Chains A and B, each alone.
Chain A
Amino acid sequence: MKVQPREPGGFAPELNELLVRRAQRIRQKPAEAEDENLLWVAEFPVGEETYALPLETLRAAVPLKMVTPVPLSPPHVIGILRFQGQIVTALSLASLLGGRGWREDPAVLLVVDPGFGRLVALDCERIPKPSGLPQAQVAEARARSSGATCEITLAGTRQVNLLDLLRLMDRRQGQEKR
């Protein structure tokens, strides 16, 4: 069966140009999707900025409820909660990052495995979105950074701060020891 155009008279030139661009993009997509050189991350906002953490470290996103505050704890500790039978510490990410502003009161806790054999929970304003960051750019940014985050500038000058959870926790522990 031959496919007939829906608009027998054809499209307006600008519309046609848009459709061509879209088609090109779609044709490119499989190639991108097959690209294994991406680091899959969970992306979320902290105030005005965008942060991300490797998807492999994310165990769950749970509502910020049923957290028991811990009097006398360091200020970056929001409290403790139960997660799959474990008692997990909930930490304020903005506080860990040295005091950032925020747009909405965090309503989500990201339960993450920083890689030292136990889980911690970090607060978050919204449920994160999965996205891919080019591995090459990630490697380059990591090499440049010695801190808990490394800045990755994507097409369209969009900037993502990729978190290094181990460094983030180490830095906090170091500050506490001092």
Chain B
Amino acid sequence: MMDPLLENLLAGFVDEAQEIYERVARSMMELEKAPAQGPSFDELARGLHTLKGSAATLGLEELADFAHRMEDVVLPLRGSSKPLPARLSDAVLKSLDVWMAHLRAIAAKGQLPDLAPSVALLETVKPDAPVPAAAKSRKKKNGKGPTAAETLAERVARAPEPEPPAAPIPAPAEDAQADSWRVTTRQVIALLHEVERLREVRLRIEERRREIDKALQQLDRLGIQAETAEARSVLLGVRRALGADGEEAADIVASMEDGLKTISTMPVRTVIEPLRRAVRDICKATGKQAKLAVVGAEVSLDRRVLEQLRGPLVHLVRNAADHGLELPDVREARGKHPEGALAIRVEQQGNMLFIEVSDDGAGLDLEQIREAALRRALVPPEELANMSTQQLHQLIFRPGFSTKMEATEYSGRGVGLDVVRNQIQALQGQVEVQSVPGQGTRFVLTLPADLGSSPVLVVRCGEHQLGLPMVAVESSRGARSKDLRVGRSRVQLEHREQLIPVQDLGALVGLRQPEVPAEGQPLLILQSQGRTMALSVDEVLGDRELVIRPLPVEIRELAAYQGAATLARGELVLILRPDFIVNTERRADTGLTSTRRALVVDDSLTARALHRTALETGGYLVHTASNARQALEQLRHSAYDVMVCDIGMDEMDGYELTAAVRQRVETDSMPILLVSARDSENDRQRGLAVGADGFLTKKDCVSGRLLSEVSSVIARRKGAA
């Protein structure tokens, strides 16, 4: 039985060794193409030496000796002006795989892979150079000599040619360190929820501060300064303290959130880097040449998602190298560079993750797909004959599909793309394939990514704050009338010698009638789905790095939003979907084509919702305002058939608003229905006196009653006219 202390050390060493393994493998691959010297060689030598030393420290003599043998093969070539010989690097890389597999097996108390074949392989590529002095002195220092190595030597003598390792893509490193703790996903998520709760506490502190502000304002209104001086002083002190507490809470939330983000996410490169090795191995085995380019490797994603993406990515990259790319001479004959280009592009847009795996190879061969489908009886011949190109492309995701007649080490077993699709679908994502014959193939994986953050531009529209993914914002500018072309049904902007449509964000999300941008009003130039347009907003509040989370199920199907994020002060901001904005046809969804329009003015969110429910049932297009000031602003730009207005509002009540509306020529005959929580004849009379056409209590505001009252006030106005 293993010593518990040693067991713990071993677990840490596996992670450390994995990290070193990746560095060494990468250096080896670099040194295949460059002289065996410089930083890459230093990295390689240092890595092998660390593997050897750490293994020896833990008493893993056999592995220490094996690492030593790899050193024996590599170190004599230090300083050479030539790249590492292909056979040699092949042998060392394969040996490294076996070394790691052996170490993992020790840690997992599993079946130990035999090292002897790999040792034999190393012997075959060993340069004719004297054994480094370090190796001799090591034997002397140990005194007893490498017993395990002697056993190995005996086994080497009868060892067969080594088989290639079963899994050339080893398990992840994940930046683990020996002094780390193991924490479950559930624990981290629980902590994330706790941070959210703390953020809510911080919001409540802010709320308390606002309440104290109100109390101070009331005291000011009373005007009895001397009598309330002490109370004012206490309240001011509490207000100050709450402000400081709120700021501190905000700092703690931000710091904890950053820390948890580091724990729960990791850079995409940890999954992508090992793929370089896979590409290299396939090229060696098939005689192809390829270069793998990666864009977006630093994007940090949920560790769980990344783990599940590892398999699909391996499949896609292997397929691209083995199936997609042509042999160098074929490529040259087709006018291409002999070295094929493989690319992985990772991009997070809001809470969606896009991964593209592309190659510049031959593209999908439709004839081969048809033949393979027939050979494997995947589709009846008559159905196959009528399939479009896109439908034929989809066949490659069928279980058992492969165009290869014989299975190779890397593909052709008919296991792959169906598994990829299943795995991506399990992550609630989807896979698309695009291919152009002779030019290449591109797979696009789209999947939700709840963790991870994205840059968002926060704007104001009326009293609403909304976010726009920065990836869609090309630029911003102030509106100038000389650049605007105002037609009867649309507004266009002259932008870079082109006319692009202008949309009013407020109208787009159903908050108001479309407005022509005022002079200097911010315009955002947006690009999405190949379209460009200008979006007018009331104010640009700035860009933020936000974690976008999906909306609750009840409103998830709203096409306008991709999710919601929490701003620093704790308030939620809805994140718009750029494709919704540029897709002008969708404006019809907002109901802007309705003919009857109603303005609901009420400081109660829930009252506004209820009035809207009733009025929309009656076919009205409803705009809302939460106070009299906003209502007057709406009325300045738009005409309404009726205004339904609450009486009891702060600052300016319903009577005052009615009087103000009646004073404007444009609205002096607009039907107004006042609603009140109180059933008072005085209120009714007072409302009618200031110019209202009707009065209804909120308890009587059942759908039918409200609609009939609205119809009645409209009819009365028409009759009066």
Chain A interfacial positions (CB closer than 8 Å to B): 47-48, 64-89, 91-92, 94-95, 98-106, 118, 120, 123
Q: Is the CB of B509 within 8 A of A71?
A: yes
Which of the residues A47, A67, A68, A105 comes within 8 Å of B607, measured between beta carbons? Answer: A105
Question: Are B574 and A70 neighbours in the complex by a CB distance under 8 Å?
Answer: yes
Q: Does A67 lie within 8 Å of B605, measured CB to CB? A: yes
Taken together as a complex, chains A and B put the C-alpha atoms of A92 and B549 apart, in Å, by 23
* A92 contacts B464, C-beta separation under 8 Å: no
Taking A85-B197, A95-B610 as given, write out 6 further A-B residue pairs in contact, using a Cβ cutoff of 8 Å, ordered by the A residue number: A64-B605, A66-B570, A82-B570, A84-B200, A85-B195, A105-B606
Task: Please determine whether B610 and A99 come into contact, CB atoms closer than 8 angstroms.
Answer: yes
A84 touches B554 (CB 8 A): no
Contact assessment for B606 and A68 in the assembled complex, using a CB-CB cutoff below 8 Å: no
Q: Are B554 and A85 in contact (CB under 8 A)?
A: no
Interface residues in B616-663 by Cβ distance below 8 A to A read 616-617, 622
A75 CA to B591 CA, complexed, in Å: 13
- Nearest first, the 10 A-B pairs at minimum CB distance are A85-B196, A99-B703, A85-B193, A105-B604, A71-B509, A75-B613, A101-B699, A89-B554, A68-B572, A75-B612
Question: How many angstroms between the C-alpha atoms of A68 and B698 in the bound complex?
Answer: 23
Known interface pairs A66-B203, A87-B549, A104-B677; A99-B614 also in contact (CB < 8 Å): yes
Chain B residue numbers with a CB within 8 Å of A70 are 551, 555, 558, 561, 574
Closest to B703 in A: A99
Q: Which residue of B lies closest to A99 (CB)?
A: B703
A114 to chain B, nearest CB (A): 11
State the Cβ distance, A12 to closest chain B Cβ, in Å. 41
Query: Which chain B residues border A98 with CB–CB below 8 Å?
Result: 703
A78 to B572, CA, bound (A): 14
Assess whether A77 is in contact with B555, with CB atoms less than 8 Å apart: yes
Q: Which of A72, A77, A98, A100 has the most CB of B within 10 A?
A: A72
Closest to A116 in B: B553
Q: Quick check: A95 and B617 within 8 Å, CB to CB?
A: no
> In terms of DSSP, what is the predominant structure of the interface of chain B?
helix
What are 15 sample pairs from A and B whose C-beta atoms fall under 8 A apart? A70-B551, A70-B555, A71-B560, A72-B589, A75-B609, A75-B622, A80-B552, A86-B552, A87-B564, A92-B610, A95-B609, A103-B677, A105-B603, A105-B607, A120-B552
**Residue count of chain B within 8 Å CB distance of chain A:** 57
Residue among A82, A84, A98, A120 with max Cβ neighbours from chain B (10 Å): A82
Residue of A with least CB distance to B511? A71
Q: Which A-chain residue is minimally distant from B591 (CB atoms)?
A: A72
Could you tell me if A99 and B509 are in contact, using CB atoms closer than 8 angstroms?
A: no
Report which of A76, A79, A120 forms a contact with B605, defined as CB distance below 8 A: A79
Tell whether, in the assembled complex, residue A77 and residue B554 are in contact, meaning their CB atoms are under 8 Å apart. Answer: yes
Contact, CB under 8 Å: A80 / B572: yes
CA distance A163 to B602 in the complex (A): 28
| CA–CA, A89 and B554, complex, Å | 7
Write the residues of chain B forming the contact surface with A, with a CB cutoff of 8 angstroms.
192-197, 199-200, 203, 207, 464, 509-511, 549, 551-555, 558, 560-561, 564, 566, 570-574, 589-590, 602-607, 609-610, 612-614, 616-617, 622, 677, 697-706
Q: Which A residues touch B604, using CB under 8 A?
A: 105-106
Check A72–B560 contact: CB distance below 8 A.
Answer: yes
Q: Which residues on A sit within 8 Å (CB–CB) of B511?
A: 71
Within the complex, what minimum Cβ distance (angstroms) separates B203 from chain A? 6
Q: How far is the CA of A67 from the CA of B603 in the complex (A)?
A: 13
Chain B residues positioned under 8 Å from A71 (CB to CB): 464, 509-511, 560, 574
Q: Which residue of A lies closest to B190 (CB)?
A: A85
A103 to B699, CA, bound (A): 5
Nearest A residue to B193 via CB reads A85
Check A105/B677 contact, CB under 8 A, given A66-B207, A71-B511, A87-B551. yes
Asked whether, in the complex, the Cβ of A95 is within 8 Å of the Cβ of B552, the reply is no
Nearest residue in B to A66 (C-beta to C-beta)?
B203
Contact across chains for A101 and B554 when beta carbons are under 8 A apart: no
Chain B residues closer than 8 Å to A73, beta-carbon distance: 555, 558
Contacts of A105 in B (CB 8 A): 602-604, 606-607, 677, 698
For B605, what are the chain A residues with a Cβ–Cβ distance below 8 Å?
64, 67, 69, 78-79
The smallest beta-carbon distance between A101 and chain B, in angstroms, is: 4
B463 nearest CB neighbor, chain A only: A69
**In the assembled complex, which residues on chain A have CB atoms less than 8 Å from the CB atom of B196?**
82, 84-86
- When distances are taken between beta carbons in the complex, the residues of chain A under 8 Å from B554 are 77, 89, 91, 120
Asked if A95 and B560 sit within 8 Å, CB to CB, the answer is no
| Contact flag A72-B590 (CB < 8 Å), given A84-B197, A103-B699 | yes
* A residues near B609, Cβ cutoff 8 Å: 75-78, 92, 95
Are B677 and A87 in touch, CB under 8 angstroms? no
CA distance A108 to B271 in the complex (A): 48
Return chain A residues, CB-CB under 8 Å to B566: 82
The complex places the Cα of A47 from the Cα of B571 at a distance, in Å, of 31
Whether the Cβ atoms of B701 and A102 lie closer than 8 Å is: yes
Q: Choose among A67, A75, A98, A100 the residue with the greatest number of B CB atoms under 10 Å from its CB.
A: A75
Distance in angstroms from A178 CB to nearest chain B CB is 14
Among A72, A82, A104, the residue within 8 A (CB) of B509 is A72
Between B200, B552, B704, the greatest number of chain A beta carbons within 10 A of the residue's beta carbon is seen for B552
Contacts of A99 in B (CB 8 A): 610, 613-614, 617, 702-704, 706
Is B572's CB under 8 angstroms from A82's CB?
A: yes
CA distance A123 to B610 in the complex (A): 11
When distances are taken between beta carbons in the complex, the residues of chain B under 8 Å from A65 are: 207
- Residues of B with C-beta under 8 A to A79: 605
